[in-house]
Amino acid sequence: AKRRAPNSYQFFGTEMNAQLQERLVLETQLRYALERNELQLHYQPRVDANSGKILGAEALIRWQNPQLGFVSPVKFIPIAEANGLIIPIGEWVLRTACNQNRLWKEAGLPPLRVAVNLSARQLAQPNLVDLVAQILAETNLSVDDLELEVTESLIMENVEHSIKVLQELHEMGITLALDDFGTGFSSLNYLRRFPIDILKIDRSFVNNVVVNQEDAAVTNTIINLAKDLNLHITAEGVETQEQFEYLKIKGCDEIQGYYFSKPLPSSAITELLQKNHQS
Protein backbone atom coordinates (compact mmCIF):
# COMPACT_ATOMS: atom_id res chain seq x y z
CA ALA A 1 0.00 0.00 0.00
CA LYS A 2 2.94 2.25 0.75
CA ARG A 3 4.13 2.00 -2.81
CA ARG A 4 0.77 2.50 -4.42
CA ALA A 5 -0.04 5.87 -2.94
CA PRO A 6 2.60 7.88 -4.82
CA ASN A 7 1.84 6.02 -8.02
CA SER A 8 -1.86 6.74 -7.93
CA TYR A 9 -1.06 10.32 -7.02
CA GLN A 10 1.14 10.57 -10.06
CA PHE A 11 -1.53 9.01 -12.24
CA PHE A 12 -4.08 11.44 -10.87
CA GLY A 13 -1.69 14.30 -11.59
CA THR A 14 -1.17 13.25 -15.19
CA GLU A 15 -4.89 12.79 -15.66
CA MET A 16 -5.56 16.27 -14.28
CA ASN A 17 -2.94 17.66 -16.53
CA ALA A 18 -4.46 16.07 -19.58
CA GLN A 19 -7.86 17.46 -18.66
CA LEU A 20 -6.49 20.97 -18.15
CA GLN A 21 -4.58 20.69 -21.38
CA GLU A 22 -7.71 19.65 -23.28
CA ARG A 23 -9.70 22.48 -21.78
CA LEU A 24 -6.98 24.97 -22.70
CA VAL A 25 -6.91 23.82 -26.32
CA LEU A 26 -10.70 23.91 -26.43
CA GLU A 27 -10.82 27.43 -25.06
CA THR A 28 -8.18 28.69 -27.46
CA GLN A 29 -9.88 27.10 -30.45
CA LEU A 30 -13.30 28.33 -29.35
CA ARG A 31 -12.04 31.92 -29.43
CA TYR A 32 -11.59 31.65 -33.19
CA ALA A 33 -14.56 29.41 -33.94
CA LEU A 34 -16.87 32.25 -34.94
CA GLU A 35 -14.50 34.12 -37.25
CA ARG A 36 -13.29 30.88 -38.83
CA ASN A 37 -16.87 29.85 -39.59
CA GLU A 38 -16.60 26.63 -37.64
CA LEU A 39 -20.03 27.02 -36.05
CA GLN A 40 -23.21 25.82 -37.66
CA LEU A 41 -26.82 25.45 -36.65
CA HIS A 42 -28.81 22.28 -36.96
CA TYR A 43 -32.57 22.32 -36.61
CA GLN A 44 -34.90 19.80 -35.02
CA PRO A 45 -38.57 19.99 -36.00
CA ARG A 46 -41.32 20.33 -33.41
CA VAL A 47 -44.42 18.56 -34.54
CA ASP A 48 -48.08 19.00 -33.66
CA ALA A 49 -48.97 15.76 -31.83
CA ASN A 50 -52.40 15.56 -33.44
CA SER A 51 -51.95 16.75 -37.01
CA GLY A 52 -48.34 15.71 -37.58
CA LYS A 53 -47.62 19.14 -39.02
CA ILE A 54 -44.29 20.80 -38.35
CA LEU A 55 -44.91 23.90 -36.26
CA GLY A 56 -41.35 24.98 -35.81
CA ALA A 57 -37.82 23.89 -35.14
CA GLU A 58 -35.26 24.22 -32.39
CA ALA A 59 -31.88 25.60 -33.39
CA LEU A 60 -29.02 23.56 -31.95
CA ILE A 61 -25.43 24.68 -32.29
CA ARG A 62 -22.71 22.49 -33.79
CA TRP A 63 -18.96 23.02 -33.71
CA GLN A 64 -16.61 21.30 -36.11
CA ASN A 65 -12.96 22.16 -35.46
CA PRO A 66 -10.07 20.97 -37.69
CA GLN A 67 -7.96 20.02 -34.67
CA LEU A 68 -10.61 18.80 -32.24
CA GLY A 69 -13.16 17.37 -34.65
CA PHE A 70 -16.79 17.57 -33.59
CA VAL A 71 -17.22 19.06 -30.14
CA SER A 72 -20.60 18.63 -28.40
CA PRO A 73 -22.41 21.75 -27.20
CA VAL A 74 -22.73 20.00 -23.85
CA LYS A 75 -18.97 20.41 -23.63
CA PHE A 76 -18.31 23.84 -25.09
CA ILE A 77 -21.41 25.85 -24.11
CA PRO A 78 -20.48 25.78 -20.39
CA ILE A 79 -16.97 26.94 -21.31
CA ALA A 80 -18.36 29.74 -23.48
CA GLU A 81 -20.61 30.64 -20.54
CA ALA A 82 -17.67 30.80 -18.18
CA ASN A 83 -15.40 32.94 -20.37
CA GLY A 84 -18.10 35.18 -21.82
CA LEU A 85 -17.80 33.94 -25.42
CA ILE A 86 -21.43 32.91 -25.18
CA ILE A 87 -22.38 36.57 -25.72
CA PRO A 88 -21.06 36.84 -29.31
CA ILE A 89 -21.87 33.17 -29.99
CA GLY A 90 -25.40 33.58 -28.64
CA GLU A 91 -25.94 36.65 -30.79
CA TRP A 92 -24.72 34.71 -33.82
CA VAL A 93 -27.15 31.87 -33.01
CA LEU A 94 -30.09 34.27 -32.73
CA ARG A 95 -29.25 36.06 -35.96
CA THR A 96 -28.54 32.86 -37.91
CA ALA A 97 -31.72 31.15 -36.73
CA CYS A 98 -33.86 34.19 -37.54
CA ASN A 99 -32.21 34.56 -40.90
CA GLN A 100 -32.93 30.91 -41.68
CA ASN A 101 -36.56 31.38 -40.69
CA ARG A 102 -36.77 34.35 -43.06
CA LEU A 103 -35.45 32.10 -45.86
CA TRP A 104 -38.12 29.50 -45.09
CA LYS A 105 -40.74 32.22 -45.18
CA GLU A 106 -39.43 33.52 -48.50
CA ALA A 107 -39.55 29.97 -49.89
CA GLY A 108 -43.31 30.08 -49.34
CA LEU A 109 -43.46 27.63 -46.44
CA PRO A 110 -46.16 28.06 -43.78
CA PRO A 111 -45.10 30.24 -40.84
CA LEU A 112 -42.77 28.44 -38.46
CA ARG A 113 -41.50 29.33 -35.04
CA VAL A 114 -37.78 28.90 -34.67
CA ALA A 115 -36.69 28.23 -31.09
CA VAL A 116 -33.37 29.46 -29.75
CA ASN A 117 -31.75 28.42 -26.47
CA LEU A 118 -30.67 31.23 -24.19
CA SER A 119 -27.91 30.96 -21.66
CA ALA A 120 -27.68 32.61 -18.24
CA ARG A 121 -25.12 35.18 -19.36
CA GLN A 122 -27.33 36.27 -22.23
CA LEU A 123 -30.27 36.77 -19.93
CA ALA A 124 -28.03 38.90 -17.71
CA GLN A 125 -26.72 41.02 -20.60
CA PRO A 126 -28.22 44.51 -20.37
CA ASN A 127 -29.28 44.90 -24.01
CA LEU A 128 -30.84 41.48 -24.69
CA VAL A 129 -34.36 42.79 -25.32
CA ASP A 130 -33.08 45.46 -27.74
CA LEU A 131 -30.88 42.92 -29.47
CA VAL A 132 -33.79 40.56 -30.02
CA ALA A 133 -35.94 43.40 -31.37
CA GLN A 134 -33.14 44.52 -33.64
CA ILE A 135 -32.54 41.04 -35.07
CA LEU A 136 -36.26 40.56 -35.73
CA ALA A 137 -36.32 43.89 -37.58
CA GLU A 138 -33.17 43.04 -39.55
CA THR A 139 -34.58 39.72 -40.66
CA ASN A 140 -38.06 40.99 -41.32
CA LEU A 141 -39.65 38.58 -38.87
CA SER A 142 -42.53 39.11 -36.50
CA VAL A 143 -42.49 38.19 -32.81
CA ASP A 144 -44.61 35.14 -33.68
CA ASP A 145 -41.70 33.69 -35.60
CA LEU A 146 -39.39 33.37 -32.61
CA GLU A 147 -39.40 31.30 -29.47
CA LEU A 148 -36.82 31.51 -26.72
CA GLU A 149 -35.97 28.58 -24.46
CA VAL A 150 -34.73 29.08 -20.94
CA THR A 151 -34.12 26.61 -18.13
CA GLU A 152 -35.21 26.83 -14.52
CA SER A 153 -31.65 26.77 -13.23
CA LEU A 154 -30.81 29.68 -15.53
CA ILE A 155 -33.71 31.74 -14.18
CA MET A 156 -32.85 30.83 -10.61
CA GLU A 157 -29.34 32.25 -10.95
CA ASN A 158 -30.86 35.68 -10.64
CA VAL A 159 -34.60 35.29 -10.19
CA GLU A 160 -35.75 38.88 -10.01
CA HIS A 161 -33.68 40.11 -12.93
CA SER A 162 -34.53 37.08 -15.07
CA ILE A 163 -38.25 37.47 -14.47
CA LYS A 164 -37.99 41.14 -15.41
CA VAL A 165 -36.22 40.41 -18.71
CA LEU A 166 -38.54 37.52 -19.55
CA GLN A 167 -41.52 39.76 -18.84
CA GLU A 168 -40.23 42.33 -21.32
CA LEU A 169 -39.71 39.68 -23.99
CA HIS A 170 -43.13 38.25 -23.25
CA GLU A 171 -44.79 41.65 -23.50
CA MET A 172 -43.11 42.11 -26.87
CA GLY A 173 -45.02 38.98 -27.90
CA ILE A 174 -42.22 36.46 -28.02
CA THR A 175 -43.09 32.89 -27.04
CA LEU A 176 -41.13 31.63 -24.06
CA ALA A 177 -40.52 27.99 -23.24
CA LEU A 178 -39.24 26.55 -19.99
CA ASP A 179 -36.75 23.90 -21.09
CA ASP A 180 -35.75 20.68 -19.32
CA PHE A 181 -38.72 20.99 -17.02
CA GLY A 182 -38.62 18.69 -14.02
CA THR A 183 -34.85 18.58 -13.70
CA GLY A 184 -34.44 21.84 -11.81
CA PHE A 185 -35.21 22.62 -8.23
CA SER A 186 -37.40 25.67 -8.41
CA SER A 187 -40.59 25.50 -6.44
CA LEU A 188 -44.00 25.60 -8.04
CA ASN A 189 -44.37 28.93 -6.34
CA TYR A 190 -41.76 30.34 -8.70
CA LEU A 191 -43.23 28.63 -11.72
CA ARG A 192 -46.36 30.72 -11.28
CA ARG A 193 -44.24 33.84 -11.53
CA PHE A 194 -42.39 32.92 -14.71
CA PRO A 195 -44.00 34.60 -17.73
CA ILE A 196 -43.83 31.47 -19.88
CA ASP A 197 -46.06 29.92 -22.53
CA ILE A 198 -44.66 26.43 -22.89
CA LEU A 199 -43.31 23.71 -20.64
CA LYS A 200 -40.85 21.32 -22.24
CA ILE A 201 -40.76 17.97 -20.47
CA ASP A 202 -37.17 16.87 -20.17
CA ARG A 203 -36.12 13.88 -22.20
CA SER A 204 -34.92 12.03 -19.10
CA PHE A 205 -38.60 11.47 -18.20
CA VAL A 206 -39.75 10.81 -21.74
CA ASN A 207 -37.03 8.18 -22.11
CA ASN A 208 -38.68 5.69 -19.78
CA VAL A 209 -42.24 6.89 -19.89
CA VAL A 210 -43.58 3.58 -21.19
CA VAL A 211 -41.44 1.29 -19.05
CA ASN A 212 -40.99 3.09 -15.75
CA GLN A 213 -43.98 3.90 -13.55
CA GLU A 214 -42.24 6.68 -11.69
CA ASP A 215 -41.22 8.49 -14.86
CA ALA A 216 -44.74 8.06 -16.18
CA ALA A 217 -46.11 9.52 -12.95
CA VAL A 218 -43.80 12.54 -13.16
CA THR A 219 -44.69 13.07 -16.81
CA ASN A 220 -48.43 12.88 -16.09
CA THR A 221 -48.02 15.32 -13.22
CA ILE A 222 -46.14 17.78 -15.42
CA ILE A 223 -48.77 17.54 -18.15
CA ASN A 224 -51.60 18.15 -15.68
CA LEU A 225 -49.74 20.99 -14.07
CA ALA A 226 -49.17 22.62 -17.43
CA LYS A 227 -52.87 22.30 -18.22
CA ASP A 228 -53.88 23.83 -14.90
CA LEU A 229 -51.56 26.75 -15.57
CA ASN A 230 -52.81 27.08 -19.15
CA LEU A 231 -49.42 26.32 -20.59
CA HIS A 232 -48.67 24.58 -23.83
CA ILE A 233 -46.73 21.35 -23.47
CA THR A 234 -43.89 19.99 -25.57
CA ALA A 235 -42.16 16.67 -24.98
CA GLU A 236 -38.54 16.41 -26.04
CA GLY A 237 -36.48 13.32 -26.72
CA VAL A 238 -39.38 11.28 -28.14
CA GLU A 239 -37.71 8.31 -29.83
CA THR A 240 -40.36 5.63 -30.28
CA GLN A 241 -43.91 5.28 -31.48
CA GLU A 242 -44.94 3.99 -28.05
CA GLN A 243 -43.61 7.12 -26.38
CA PHE A 244 -45.31 9.27 -28.99
CA GLU A 245 -48.71 7.55 -28.58
CA TYR A 246 -48.49 7.68 -24.82
CA LEU A 247 -47.72 11.40 -24.75
CA LYS A 248 -50.36 12.20 -27.32
CA ILE A 249 -53.06 10.37 -25.35
CA LYS A 250 -52.00 12.14 -22.17
CA GLY A 251 -52.49 15.47 -23.91
CA CYS A 252 -49.05 16.65 -25.00
CA ASP A 253 -49.43 19.36 -27.64
CA GLU A 254 -46.12 19.05 -29.43
CA ILE A 255 -43.42 16.48 -29.75
CA GLN A 256 -39.79 16.74 -30.61
CA GLY A 257 -37.35 13.88 -30.93
CA TYR A 258 -35.59 11.31 -33.08
CA TYR A 259 -38.92 9.55 -33.68
CA PHE A 260 -39.82 12.37 -35.99
CA SER A 261 -36.39 13.74 -36.91
CA LYS A 262 -32.89 14.23 -35.58
CA PRO A 263 -31.51 17.75 -35.63
CA LEU A 264 -30.41 18.28 -39.25
CA PRO A 265 -28.62 20.92 -41.29
CA SER A 266 -30.88 23.61 -42.75
CA SER A 267 -30.88 22.12 -46.27
CA ALA A 268 -32.25 18.79 -45.04
CA ILE A 269 -34.83 20.52 -42.86
CA THR A 270 -35.97 22.61 -45.81
CA GLU A 271 -36.68 19.40 -47.76
CA LEU A 272 -38.54 17.94 -44.80
CA LEU A 273 -40.59 21.12 -44.46
CA GLN A 274 -41.52 21.06 -48.12
CA LYS A 275 -42.67 17.42 -47.90
CA ASN A 276 -44.59 18.07 -44.69
CA HIS A 277 -46.28 21.09 -46.26
CA GLN A 278 -47.42 19.13 -49.32
CA SER A 279 -48.69 16.09 -47.40
Cα–Cα distance between 117 and 102 in angstroms, integer? 18
Does 60 contact ligand C2E by CB under 6 A?
A: yes
Range in contact with Ca ion (rule: CB under 5 A) among 12-20, 147-155, 165-173, 240-248: 147-155
Range in contact with Ca ion (rule: CB under 5 A) among 15-23, 179-187, 191-199, 215-223: 179-187
- Out of 45, 182, 184, 257, which residue is the one contacting ligand C2E (CB under 6 A)? 257
Range in contact with Ca ion (rule: CB under 5 A) among 73-81, 127-135, 228-236, 247-255: 228-236
Nearest to 57 by CA among 275, 274, 273, 279: 273
Range in contact with Ca ion (rule: CB under 5 A) among 37-45, 111-119, 210-218, 243-251: 111-119
CB of 15 to ligand C2E, least distance (A): 25
* CA 90 to mean position of chain CA atoms: 12
Cα–Cα distance between 95 and 59 in angstroms, integer? 11
Does 152 contact Ca ion by CB under 5 A?
A: no
Q: Per residue, what are the HEC states of 156-176?
A: HCCHHHHHHHHHHHHHHCCEE
- Out of 61, 87, 98, 198, which residue is the one contacting ligand C2E (CB under 6 A)? 61
Q: Which is nearer to ligand C2E, 237 or 273 (CB)?
A: 237
Does 180 contact ligand C2E by CB under 6 A?
A: yes
Entry field: residues in the chain: 279
Instruction: Give the 3-state secondary structure percentages of the chain, helix then strand then coil, rounded to 5.
Output: 55, 20, 25
Which secondary-structure segment (H or E) carries 67? none
CB of 150 to ligand C2E, least distance (A): 9
First and final C-alpha spacing in the chain = 70
Does 175 contact ligand C2E by CB under 6 A?
A: no
CB of 6 to ligand C2E, least distance (A): 40
Listed in order, strand segments (DSSP E) in 119-237 are: 146-151, 175-181, 198-201, 232-235
The answer to whether 136 and 142 are in contact (CB under 8 A) is yes
CB of 4 to Ca ion, least distance (A): 40
- Out of 30, 43, 44, 218, which residue is the one contacting ligand C2E (CB under 6 A)? 44
- Out of 237, 252, 255, 266, which residue is the one contacting ligand C2E (CB under 6 A)? 237
Does 243 contact ligand C2E by CB under 6 A?
A: no
Measured over the CA atoms of residue 197, residue 202, residue 206 and residue 211, the dihedral's sign is: negative
Binding site for Ca ion (CB under 5 A): 117, 149, 179-180, 236
